[in-house]
Structure 1
Amino acid sequence: MALRSHALLPRQYDHQKVLATTVDAWGRALWLICPNAELQPSSFGRAYPQPRTRPYDALLVINSGGTVREQLLRGVSLRVTRLDALPNGRLVLEGSGDAREHNAQIYGPDGRRRRSFAMGRAVEYLMADRRHHVWSAYFDEGVYIDPISAAGLVRWDSGGNQQWGYTPPEGIEYIDTVYAFNVDDGVAWASYYPTFPLLEARTDGQIRLRRTPVVAPAGMAVHEKQIVMLGGNRQPDRLHRCRMTEHEALLIEEACLTLPNGAPLKRYARPIGRGRHLYLRGTSLRQWYVMGI
């Protein structure tokens, strides 16, 4: 199965430093650019862009079906690593700042900050839906030391107020690290270490866990009773198509996912699951691909 091209950052931004990128709940590709940034070396591999001064003005580039527009964000004080769009033209940012406890910010449609709040440490995923829900999922470096991150999966309203945190049923392992994540309107899906159950968490309070045949998946797309999990089982390009029952996800078939030209999918960044769609990018921050079920 081949990916399709979804969105590309236009060439006029090639010289700009991209702080963060995602695909939002409306299928729009977002890139946050800091004109006043320089590359900093990292002990984890690739250099990352660091704003030279803070606060700074950042440029949000939005690609919606090939139509590109810009929005200026004023007075950003975070080194942003994650972002997502909220309803009514708002935006939520997450990153590191001068005050560690306030690592998330909400911006209005006018590009001005509305609120700063604590989202917890070691955020692995930040995703919002179209119904004013924001989900944050965490990895172990936050789960074991931060009271917010300790739940492993937290839901907020679109004003930054915490509404819910995951507590596993009796006899089920807690979240150490969320590996794969998918958010649709009113529901989040997660596969997490150490036992990799499929967690279905709905905003009405319903929780369901299912067994799956996939260990350590990288991403997933979900539609009705179907779920396609990418990676896992030490096969990063393998798709596992499953049918969900009440207690488990049953493997139906497997396939190999490739780039649009049929080339092998060797390396990719953390996929973004939005309901029936799974969005991926390679090592470049500028190109998004998509597959759907």
Structure 2
Amino acid sequence: MIAWRDGETLLDLVVDDEPFDIHEIQPVGDDLLLVCCRSCYRGPDDFDLNGRLYRRDGTRCGEILLGDGIQSVQATGTGEIWTSYFDEGVFGNFGWEAPVGASGLVAWSRRGEQLHAFSPPDGLGPIDDCYALNVQGDHDVWLYYYGEFALVHLRDRQPVASWRIPVRGSHAFAVMEDRTQHGGCVALLCGAYGDRDALQLVRLGTDGQARLLRAYRMLNGGSAPVGAARAVGRGRALYVVGTDGNVYRIDTAELVAAAAA
């Protein structure tokens, strides 16, 4: 595991003898949470504890159940763990007749206690597949899900706003306050059905309407197109692992400022 900030290496660690394939890593307090996105259920006392907690010296310090079919994992600064689920995690696979991720989005304590399960706001249906998650901070969580193609804002675990998005099939997004309208927001969505690399800026109005503002393509320094091998949104920043092997940070605020100029 390697972590860096502003060119400085913060962590360079090898974990030995971990039996699970690891797909996600998040800091949880002073420790690290390693997550395998799959978990098998074999019986009431026999299932995979796929959340693996380690100290920063590589010593394992806990294991918790987070369920099967995990799409993404993001933790808050206070150590609350949010897991979103794709369709197999929602509807069940690998022996889970009553899936842990049936709600599509769950918040956990570091001890594996379920703190919250998503319930859709009035006018929207349940999650069939949570395409993208953005844990903006300790109080604000955003999600984008199928089959509503809705972007939902939770504050203190409760829905406070939602929009049906004109972009279908995004796999990551960044979001920020829209300074041109009190209470409104702007989202930068990565990907769409048939075009994984598309970047689209959407204004989220206070009237519940979402409007496409502008579309973009990622280019490298030589103006060659760069695809999105993987993308994750945290707050207003969209982090993209490019198909050229580089990692990019896209600040939504800079795009909004340029669009308004």
What range is the shorter-chain TM-score in? 0.7 to 0.9
Residue number in structure 2 paired with 1:80: 22
| TM-score normalized with structure 1 length | 0.71
Q: Deviations over 1:113-156 (max 9, x none)?
A: 22111111011101112222211111111211142111101111
CA distance in 1, matches of 2:54, 2:111: 10
Residue identity in the other structure for 1:192? Y
Residue number in structure 2 paired with 1:142: 89
| Paired residues of 1:75 and 1:112 also in contact (CA < 8 A) | no
Residue number in structure 2 paired with 1:151: 103
Residue number in structure 1 paired with 2:180: none
CA distance in 1, matches of 2:4, 2:120: 38
CA distance in 2, matches of 1:158, 1:229: 30
CA distance in 2, matches of 1:120, 1:248: 33
Report the RMSD for the aligned CA atoms in angstroms.
Answer: 2.3
Is 1:192 paired with 2:145? yes
Identity among equivalent positions (%) equals 28
CA distance in 2, matches of 1:141, 1:97: 11
CA distance in 1, matches of 2:243, 2:198: 19
Match of 2:216 among 243, 251, 256: 256
Partner SS state of residue 217, structure 1: coil
- List aligned pairs for 1:258-273, cutoff 5 A: 258-261=218-221, 262-266=223-227, 268-273=228-233
| Paired residues of 1:217 and 1:233 also in contact (CA < 8 A) | yes
Unaligned runs of at least 5 residues, structure 1: 1-59
| Paired residues of 1:198 and 1:210 also in contact (CA < 8 A) | yes
Q: Deviations over 1:84-137 (max 9, x none)?
A: 12222x111111579643111111233222211111101110111222221111
| Paired residues of 1:229 and 1:239 also in contact (CA < 8 A) | yes
Deviation at 1:233?
5.4
Deviation at 1:168?
1.6
Residue number in structure 2 paired with 1:218: 171
After superposition, the Cα gap between the structure-2 partners of 1:252 and 1:176, relative to the gap in structure 1 and judged at 3 Å, is closer
Residue identity in the other structure for 1:220? F
| Larger relative contact order, structure 1 or 2 (CA cutoff 8 Å, min sep 6) | 1
Question: Which portions of structure 1, spanning 4 or more consecutive aligned residues, are displaced by more than 6 angstroms?
Answer: none
Unaligned runs of at least 5 residues, structure 2: 41-45, 178-184, 253-261
| TM-score normalized with structure 2 length | 0.79
